[in-house]
Structures are given as C-alpha cells and as structure tokens.
C-alpha cells in the first residue's frame, strides 16, 4: 500500500485562527485531493491540485504541493466552528490509475467557538 | 440530483450470512468505487469499475464481490460475512473528464456490523 501520512492526527484551535494540515505520499502522482468528512457523513471533495501545480486557492482554503518532497499542505484561514470535521488527503497515482485514490489517515480538526 | 445514494444505511449480520449493498448515482459518471473505512485507517479501496460491465480489484478485495450491470449502479456483495468486515462502507463515483484524474463524489455510507 502506498497510503500517505497526515500530520497532525488531531488539531484543536479557536475560531478565527488558521489551521494547517500536512500530507505526505510515496510515489509519483497525477493529482492530490483534499476531502472533508463531518461526523457520521460521507466525504466531500474540497480541492484538487495537479502534479504540475504548486498552489491552489478556493475560498478560505489554500493548498500547496511540493512534488520534490512528495508533500502537500491544506491551510484553512479564519476558521469557523462549522469547519470542525476530519480532513483527508488522497493521492491519485501516476500513470493509468483509473482515478483510484489512496487516502491518508486524516486529521481531526476541532474549532472552538 | 440525488448524487450518490447507498442502500441500506445500517445493517447487522450474523457471521456467515450474505448481503448486497447497493450504490446508485445519477450523474452519468463512468467510474465507480467501493471503499471501507475503519477507525484510524482512512479509506481503503475494495473494488472499482471503469464502466458498465467492468470491475477490478482494489487494495482489499478479499471476501467481497461486485457487479456493474448498469452504468448508474454498483453493487457490493458479501457472500459469507465475517466479523472482520464490520466497517463503514462508502461508494463513490467520478467523471472521466481528465486523463490525470478527477474528483470523487461520495455516498452517505452504510454502517455494517457482523456479529
């Protein structure tokens, strides 16, 4: 398995603070994706960054990708209590992967009002 | 659009029983996937399909079978359930827009307990 790793496993912050989560993967990729999962629910896609991109923004989300270090980070700015969830990175391996994703173990984010 | 739906939402099985989980998507997506999620382990791919009538093994396929007779449906079967198959099962679908991969859309999950 080429399952990546996420860091930290859990993060607790106050509303208004920024949250940064990191992800590492093991082999070459087509793209890397971030998903959010609220407790007891399915995963929701947040952002996809392709291997030839270095940074991508979506609203309060900023994702970076460093293919030389095989790592990515997700920054959530000005966090809100509603951002409380688990966040997963998932890599789409290079070559003919048929869109298959390998998920990390996730970061549990708690944002206190 | 309903997106990706899964049936049932919860199920309790006894060891040795069989069951089928149904996944349906109304987005005309080519690719569909079945994952299982266990505490502390993220999601692991069980089987996937790249089109109607095709299926392939993922990372953890043992003990499961799948079928995709119609483009919109992807069925996951457990022929003889074991306690190790207690998990939350997620179905996902993805369009085939880019050769470098696209985002996946997930269903709400099925919580299965095998006693």
A56-78 pLDDT tens trace: 999 999 999 999 999 999 999 99
Query: Which has the closest alpha carbon to B101: A60, A32, A28?
Result: A32
Are A70 and A25 a contacting pair, CB within 8 Å?
yes
CA angle A86, A88, A89 (to 5 degrees): 160
Chain A contact present for B67, CB below 8 A: no
At residue A49, the 3 state secondary structure works out as strand
- List, in order, residues 6 or more apart from A109 with CB less than 8 Å away: A10, A11, A12, A13, A19, A21, A76, A79, A83, A84, A85, A86, A87
DSSP B1-45: ---EEEE-SEEEE-TT--EEEEEEESS--SEEEEEEE-TTS-EEE
What pLDDT is attached to residue B70? 96
pLDDT band, residue A42 (cuts 50/70/90): very high
Q: Output the six-digit token pair for B27.
A: 């987005």
User: Looking at residues B79-101, what average pLDDT do you find?
Assistant: 92
| Per-residue pLDDT at B97 | 79
Q: Do A48 and B43 touch (CB under 8 A)?
A: no
A-chain residues near B33 (CB < 8 A): 99-101
Secondary structure of residue A41 in the 3-state scheme: coil
- CA B34, B71, B23, A109 dihedral sign is positive
For residue range A74-100, list pLDDT tens digits in order. Answer: 999 999 999 999 999 999 987 677 788
Of B100, B105, B109, the CB nearest to A50: B100
Contact check, Cβ <8 Å, B43/A103 = yes
Q: Cis link prior to B18 (omega < 30° from 0)?
A: no
Quick check: A45 and B56 CB within 8 A? no
A44: its two tokens: 């929701």
| A-chain residues near B105 (CB < 8 A) | 45
> Quick one: pLDDT at residue A2?
44
Q: What is the pLDDT of residue A4?
A: 66
Q: How far is CA A73 from the centre of its chain?
A: 6
């Amino acid at each position: 398995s080429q399952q990546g790793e996420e860091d930290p496993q859990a993060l607790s912050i106050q509303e208004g603070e920024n949250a940064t989560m990191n992800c590492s993967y093991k082999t070459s990729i087509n793209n890397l994706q971030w998903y959010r999962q609220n407790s007891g629910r399915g995963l929701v896609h947040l952002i996809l960054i392709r291997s030839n991109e270095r940074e991508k923004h979506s609203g309060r989300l900023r994702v970076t990708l460093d293919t030389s270090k095989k790592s990515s980070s997700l920054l959530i700015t000005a966090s809100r209590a509603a951002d409380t969830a688990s966040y997963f990175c998932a890599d789409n391996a290079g070559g003919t992967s048929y869109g298959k994703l390998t998920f990390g173990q996730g970061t549990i984010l708690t944002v206190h009002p | 659009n309903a997106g990706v739906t899964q049936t049932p939402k919860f199920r309790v099985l006894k060891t040795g029983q069989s069951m089928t989980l149904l996944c349906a998507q109304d987005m005309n997506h080519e690719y569909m996937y079945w994952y299982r999620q266990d505490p502390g382990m993220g999601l692991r791919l069980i089987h996937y399909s790249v089109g109607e009538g095709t299926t392939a093994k993922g990372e953890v396929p043992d003990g499961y079978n799948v079928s995709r007779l119609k483009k919109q449906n992807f069925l996951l079967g457990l022929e003889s359930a074991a306690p190790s198959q207690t998990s939350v099962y997620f179905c996902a679908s993805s369009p085939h827009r880019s050769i470098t991969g696209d985002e996946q859309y997930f269903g709400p999950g099925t919580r299965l307990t095998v006693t």
